[in-house]
Amino acid sequence: MKILFMGTPDFAVPCLEKLIEDGHNIVGVLTQPDKPQGRKMKLTPPPVKELALKNNLEVYQPESLKNEAIKPLLEQKQPELIVVVAYGKILPKYVLDFPKYGCINVHGSLLPRWRGAAPIQWSIISGDKTAGVTTMKMSEGLDTGDMLLKYETEIGQTETAGELFDRLALSGAELLHDTIEQIDSIVPEVQDESKANYAHMLDKQIAQIDWSKSNKEIDCLIRGLNPWPIALTTLNGERLKIYSASPQNENGKAGEVLKADPKTGLLVACGEGSILLNEIQAVGGKRMNSKDYLRGHKIEVGSILGE
């Protein structure tokens, strides 16, 4: 099958790898323009571009899809199917309508549960028990297209967004394979709008821990924001990043340090229960286990985090 692939980040890489492995005729790869990254702001290609070039695939990086910008490309390549995986732009109608089999999207959510930019992170932040991947026939709305196939998995009790992201990327590739194999026989399922939620893009504002919330809610936030942007609080007015934690049963005033010992670690009271901070990073310091941090830094029991 002649396929045009559209994707940008790591999540999309296994899907492109699977299409290559399956021997499809990939007539082109569209991805976002290279962007400056790191402290030196070095111009860096997206992961999908790197894979495409390694496999001698033609790469296109349009700044925009508006005003029929890629219509000449579509007419030249004549794709029968467009596969979209975390491309990063809304597809205009002229693109959606072009291929014989339309445009299929691999989305990191059990639609319609989470639509939008960060479904995997919000599934953890919100305390969902399960997550998954859905393939859908794309429409002009944001993740509103009819569903094709789904893969569902339990979210591990200590699983971070990064870990779930990696698992679902691989599962998404397998689901894409199955979807293409069954493309002539799948009966599309309309999404239930009443069950839809918007997973808006993460930013650093959401990272601030509200210690009045329960230990389970705070644990979900910490795991959902790892590896980015990482949950934050303050200690004695200084920023403290929290990479991982474990809910505990002790109680106290919200944000109060209940234990601060190199043998037991850093235990903080929440609105309900408490939470043991496992991996932390202070301003100017390295990411480390809280026990190791406490060997070189004294934190007073009774101190209040977040003030």
Choose the final residue of a domain: 199, 233, 262.
Answer: 199
Residue 192 pLDDT level (bands cut at 50, 70, 90): very high
Alpha-carbon distance 78 to 95, whole Å? 11
Say if residue 268 is in the same domain as residue 228.
yes
- Residue 149 Cα distances to 18, 46, 181, angstroms: 17, 27, 11
Domain membership flag for residue 268: yes
Domain membership flag for residue 155: yes
Alpha-carbon distance 183 to 267, whole Å? 53
Residues sharing a CB contact under 8 Å with residue 86, sequence separation 6 or more, in sequence order:
7, 8, 9, 11, 12, 108
**Structural domain that includes position 194:** 2-199
Say if residue 101 is in the same domain as residue 229.
no
Residue 96 pLDDT level (bands cut at 50, 70, 90): very high
Residue 37 pLDDT level (bands cut at 50, 70, 90): confident
Domain membership flag for residue 307: no
CATH of the domain at 34: 3.40.50.170
Choose the final residue of a domain: 199, 225, 242.
Answer: 199
Residue 236 has, within 13 A of its CA and on its CB side, a CA count of 9
Q: Report CA Rg, the chain.
A: 22
Whether the model clears a pTM of 0.85, i.e. scores above it, the answer is yes
Percentage of residues in the chain having pLDDT higher than 70 = 100
Task: Judge whether 32 and 46 are in contact, CB under 8 Å.
Answer: yes
Residue 52 pLDDT level (bands cut at 50, 70, 90): very high
Average pLDDT over residues 173-178: 98
Task: Return the pLDDT at 219.
Answer: 98
Task: Return the pLDDT at 204.
Answer: 86
Summarize pLDDT for 98-127 with one digit per residue, the tens.
Answer: 999 999 999 999 999 999 999 999 999 999
If one compares 2 and 236, the residue with the highest pLDDT of the two is: 2
In the chain the beta strands, taken as DSSP E runs, fall at: 2-7, 25-30, 35-37, 42-44, 59-60, 81-85, 103-107, 114-116, 130-137, 147-154, 197-199, 231-235, 238-248, 257-261, 265-269, 274-282, 288-289
Residue 185 pLDDT level (bands cut at 50, 70, 90): very high
Choose the final residue of a domain: 166, 199, 232.
Answer: 199
Q: What's the domain count of the chain?
A: 2
